[in-house]
Chain A
Amino acid sequence: MSTERPSRVWNRKHILGLEELSAEEITQILDQAAEFKQQTKEGVLKLNSLRGKVVANLFFEPSTRTRTSFGLAAKRLSADTVDFSPSGSSLSKGETFIDTAKNIEAMGVDQVVVRHMTPGAPHLLSKHLKASVLNAGDGTHEHPTQALLDIFTIREQKGTLEGLTVTLVGDILHSRVARSNIWGLKKLGARVIVCGPSTLIPRDITQLGVEISYDLDAVLPETDCVNLLRVQFERQRSAFFPSIREYAHLFGLNTERASRGKEGMVVLAPGPINRGVELSTEVADGPHSVVLDQVTNGLLVRMSCLYLLNQYQDRQAERGDS
């Protein structure tokens, strides 16, 4: 893994999803995050890169982990941050989403981190704002920074993505994490299997170059990394499976199942985890689990995204001056 300062130039104003990023761009984000990790180890906890810049966290959907992680990432880069969540603010007064964002931008915001329940909401904002937009999860569409931290964690454990088999388990239909992971993993050369109840795996997903399985036990022996997606009860409009008990029976990862995995299989879970549903407590806290590494790496990957977008803006500003 490279720890030298990347000399590549970042050429994007927004990060809206992994679909539009190239393998090189994804690698650039990961390498920058790795550099931050090295600096952290060396005791450099605070950087000046975003001093005087303002990052707004617009969270139109509840979030604790992602929001905290983004907030801390911005602070580690010395940015000022403003948090906005719709409860009790102008959204309840009938203001439109775009007007709300424009008003916050008018206070002098450089980057907008947005989470929204509607797919495409960050894309809509990117057409109306001058600030850079960073997608922190748009409905069931994409969650690029989550996938980047998953991929970063895998790369850290396995050295490379090339040739690995990664199995995504659970509710693929409603999962933005799955979509972003599929784009990123495929671009970096991994083989991807999606596994879960047949009601929660859209058949057209194979067109993204993934394989479908309904039998977790059958795919575990070929799996280098298993990513256990949360069952999204809140996104389901009707019953997709008969009971949680049955889900855990068919797709829950317990110690016995984990032992069938390929030698050195790594267990990821984007969280918040439902212990006893997607994975048992023994597995969650067991030797294969990298769940807490994911959280640590999430901070670094988000720092990396903010840092690169800022670099782009600074370059644009220089061009404007000359």
Chain B
Amino acid sequence: MTSLLIRGGRLIDPSQNLDRTGDLLIRDGVIAGAGDVAGHADEVIEAEGLIVSPGLIDLHAALRDPGDEEDETTYTGTAAALAGGFSSIACLPDTTPAIDNRAAAEFAILQAARARNCHVYPLGAVTKSLKGEELAEMGQLVDGGAVGFSDGKHPLHNAEIMRRALEYSRMFDRPIFNFPEVEELSRSGVMHEGYYSTLLGLRGMPAAAESIMVGRDLALAEMTDGKLHVTTITVTNSVKQIQQAKEAGVKVTCSVTPHHLTLDDSTLQSFDSAFKVNPPLRSRDHIDSLIRGLKDGTIDAISSDHQPYSIEKKRNELDQAPFGIAGLETVLPICIQSLIDPGHLSWLQLIDKLSTRPAAILGLSKGTLKENSTADITLIDPHVEWTIDPKQFFSRGRNTPFEGWTVKGRAHTVIVGGEVRYYLGQIASRINPAV
């Protein structure tokens, strides 16, 4: 029997609509009590001034392992997740080879167990080799630990395949994540199509390239009664269509990234590839729609869409550089700046979108401080000021558009299954690999 008491923090648990000051007791890896907890504990963490949240859960992170270890490994990616406050992440199957079979899913979980950082739940491929042609063995993938299905950044362009995927995955009650993009409309584009793409002479990716695919997928989800998760939406018309579909009872959820809530397409005037991301940074009116969608609940979750790349790949001409932002370590401060400080969301709502809702989307019994649930806990210091320096990242990806920003708030402690895995900038597995 080991016990850990987190004393005097602000307990926030969206699953119980709880926001109060109190203690949290962890015993043998599970939550033993919250609120006014008395009695002995082996270890105590003083949490005054800190937020005590269910461990954050990321829905969409690339770990690049195996195949592109120069960009990220399971060890570095999960360390970055801890530093960002995440106790669990869903990893993308777009590795080389892809996670399109049971052995590959089990390898992802094994690598995470070796790393001993955070939990990793693989998203299995929807189609073999992510080619969009034939369904992957979804049943086998579920047996190997896959919690949902995705072809990563490859949109499922074939409507027939998407239909069958939504139908077939119903047997396992797992969602299909689709990246909404009509490739014919956005091919060889590097940024949002609009005034700034015209100004800069950069090829545009129109908003309609996203919303057309969202509309198609919603119609297929309605027809099949399958579970659809639309990843990283960025445009007004996507929000509108999803809102209508939810009202009509379609089983759809969706997510956004912090960078799409914070940066607009004018940033490309720097020609800096740190701002090159897919979907592209949109114009201000779209950003306003996303914030409205978060407030009214149309948008369920916020995910990092962590896309790490080595410096030599990213530091290239704009059309040669790959799309993506290494986002895991900056989610919290950017959300605080863009959502909490302006008063768009309360802390209860933000943690819902970073923990409780993602758990529900992935079918995990997490995202809660209820008694007897797994002790995945994140302590957040909401006030600490720091400057984002990619050289300090745990991730191998240094590609952030937020370099040099002075921000507020970061993870203080991350507890995974009752063990302190991250504490004030230190990764436990790095201090003592045997832990």
> Interface with A: B172-180, B317-325, B407-415, which one?
B317-325
Q: Is B382 an interface residue (CB 8 A)?
A: no
Chain A residues 127-161 with CB under 8 Å of chain B are 138-142
- On whether the beta carbons of B315 and A141 are closer than 8 Å, the reply is no
Q: How far is the CA of A179 from the CA of B187 in the complex (A)?
A: 23
Q: Is A96 an interface residue (CB 8 A)?
A: yes
* CB-defined contacts of A176 to chain B, threshold 8 Å: 201
* CB-defined contacts of B188 to chain A, threshold 8 Å: 237
* CB-defined contacts of B315 to chain A, threshold 8 Å: 96, 98
A176 to chain B: closest residue by CB: B201
B 194-225 to A, binary, CB cutoff 8 A, 1 in contact else 0: 11011111110000000000000000000000
- On whether the beta carbons of B195 and A124 are closer than 8 Å, the reply is no
- On whether the beta carbons of B187 and A141 are closer than 8 Å, the reply is no
Q: How far is the CA of A245 from the CA of B203 in the complex (A)?
A: 26
Q: How far is the CA of A146 from the CA of B202 in the complex (A)?
A: 19
- On whether the beta carbons of A140 and B194 are closer than 8 Å, the reply is no
- On whether the beta carbons of B316 and A141 are closer than 8 Å, the reply is no
Q: Known contacts A120-B271, A204-B194; is A97 also within 8 Å of B317 by CB?
A: yes
Tell me the minimal C-beta distance from A24 to chain B in angstroms. Answer: 22
Tell me the minimal C-beta distance from B72 to chain A in angstroms. Answer: 21
Tell me the minimal C-beta distance from A114 to chain B in angstroms. Answer: 11
Chain A residues 161-178 with CB under 8 Å of chain B are 174, 176
Chain A residues 12-41 with CB under 8 Å of chain B are 19
- On whether the beta carbons of A208 and B318 are closer than 8 Å, the reply is no
Tell me the minimal C-beta distance from B162 to chain A in angstroms. Answer: 24
Tell me the minimal C-beta distance from A208 to chain B in angstroms. Answer: 7
Chain A residues 217-237 with CB under 8 Å of chain B are 237
Q: Is B312 an interface residue (CB 8 A)?
A: yes
- On whether the beta carbons of B312 and A118 are closer than 8 Å, the reply is no
- On whether the beta carbons of A118 and B198 are closer than 8 Å, the reply is no
Mostly, the B contact residues are loop
Tell me the minimal C-beta distance from B25 to chain A in angstroms. Answer: 53
- On whether the beta carbons of B194 and A116 are closer than 8 Å, the reply is no
When the two chains form the complex, which single residue of A19, A118, A207 contacts B317, counting CB atoms closer than 8 Å? A118
Q: Known contacts A119-B318, A120-B318; is A141 also within 8 Å of B195 by CB?
A: no
* CB-defined contacts of B318 to chain A, threshold 8 Å: 118-121, 124
**Which of B195, B199, B315, B320 lies at the interface centre, i.e. has the most chain A CB atoms within 10 A of its CB?**
B199
Tell me the minimal C-beta distance from A16 to chain B in angstroms. Answer: 10
Q: Is A189 an interface residue (CB 8 A)?
A: no
Tell me the minimal C-beta distance from B94 to chain A in angstroms. Answer: 24
When the two chains form the complex, which single residue of A19, A97, A207 contacts B316, counting CB atoms closer than 8 Å? A97
Q: Is A295 an interface residue (CB 8 A)?
A: no
* CB-defined contacts of A97 to chain B, threshold 8 Å: 316-317, 320
When the two chains form the complex, which single residue of B197, B198, B312 contacts A96, counting CB atoms closer than 8 Å? B312
Q: Is A205 an interface residue (CB 8 A)?
A: yes
* CB-defined contacts of A138 to chain B, threshold 8 Å: 201
A118 to chain B: closest residue by CB: B317
Chain B residues 372-389 with CB under 8 Å of chain A are none
* CB-defined contacts of A179 to chain B, threshold 8 Å: 199, 201
A 102-123 to B, binary, CB cutoff 8 A, 1 in contact else 0: 0000000000000011111101
* CB-defined contacts of A142 to chain B, threshold 8 Å: 201
- On whether the beta carbons of B271 and A207 are closer than 8 Å, the reply is no
Q: Known contacts A96-B316, A120-B317, A237-B187; is A202 also within 8 Å of B198 by CB?
A: yes
* CB-defined contacts of B199 to chain A, threshold 8 Å: 19, 179, 204, 208
Q: How far is the CA of A96 from the CA of B202 in the complex (A)?
A: 21
When the two chains form the complex, which single residue of B195, B270, B312 contacts A207, counting CB atoms closer than 8 Å? B195
- On whether the beta carbons of A204 and B202 are closer than 8 Å, the reply is no
* CB-defined contacts of B198 to chain A, threshold 8 Å: 202, 204-205, 207-208
* CB-defined contacts of B270 to chain A, threshold 8 Å: 123
Q: How far is the CA of A124 from the CA of B318 in the complex (A)?
A: 9
- On whether the beta carbons of A140 and B317 are closer than 8 Å, the reply is no
* CB-defined contacts of B195 to chain A, threshold 8 Å: 204, 207
Tell me the minimal C-beta distance from A296 to chain B in angstroms. Answer: 27
* CB-defined contacts of A208 to chain B, threshold 8 Å: 198-199
Chain B residues 85-108 with CB under 8 Å of chain A are none
* CB-defined contacts of A140 to chain B, threshold 8 Å: 201-203
* CB-defined contacts of A124 to chain B, threshold 8 Å: 271, 317-318
* CB-defined contacts of B320 to chain A, threshold 8 Å: 97, 118
Which A residues are within 8 Å of any B CB, using their own CB?
A: 19, 96-98, 116-121, 123-124, 138-142, 174, 176, 179, 202, 204-205, 207-208, 237
Which B residues are within 8 Å of any A CB, using their own CB?
A: 187-188, 194-195, 197-203, 270-271, 312, 315-320
| 16 contacting pairs across A/B (C-beta < 8 A) | A96-B312, A96-B315, A116-B317, A117-B319, A119-B200, A119-B202, A120-B202, A120-B271, A123-B271, A141-B201, A176-B201, A179-B199, A204-B198, A204-B199, A207-B198, A208-B199
Closest 6 CB pairs of A and B: A120-B271, A141-B201, A140-B201, A118-B317, A204-B195, A204-B198
| Besides A141-B200, A205-B198, A237-B203, 20 new A-B residue pairs in contact (Cβ under 8 A), listed by A number | A96-B316, A118-B320, A119-B318, A120-B200, A120-B317, A121-B317, A124-B317, A138-B201, A139-B201, A139-B319, A140-B202, A141-B201, A141-B202, A142-B201, A174-B201, A204-B197, A204-B198, A204-B199, A207-B195, A208-B199
